[in-house]
Amino acid sequence: MKFAIALFSAPHAPSSRRALRFAEAVLAGGHEIVRVFFYQDGVYSAASTPVTPQDEWDTAAAWSALVRDHQLDGVVCIAAALRRGVLNDEEAQRYERDAASLAKPWELSGLGQLHEATQLADRLVCFGGP
């Protein structure tokens, strides 16, 4: 089965860790993840600047490792990211900011990527949100 995963909550929220565990279970079960899409506060999981306290689990780093290790398509909504200061090199230059803050391996793109993921996947599973 092919899954698309959308995350709407910040990395410290319980739903972010649940989404990560779900993604790991999907892959362990031999299924495919066509895209991981971060939207709203979920974009904070793709930021390189937050520092997780030593006594807490680093959900954002775990997301990055999962996307990198499994060569997943990790997409961050560009509008939500800009609103929250999560910028790649190109956007940092465009908006004359001192530095980029988008972690690797994430890519900025539009909501069309979420729509496309729903077309490619058998199931869209969403975590977090209002």
37-51: burial string, b at 16+ Cβ within 10 Å, e else: bbbbbbbbbbbeeee
Of 7, 62, 67, 77, the active-site residue reads 77
User: How many Å apart are CA 69 and CA 80, to the nearest integer?
Assistant: 25
End-to-end CA distance of the chain: 28
| Catalytic-residue membership of 126 | no
Tell me the residue length of the chain.
Answer: 130
Grouping H, G, I as helix, E, B as strand and the rest as coil, residue 95 is coil
Distances (CA, A) of 36 to 56, 97, 106, 120, 122: 23, 27, 10, 12, 14
Q: Which residues are catalytic?
A: 77
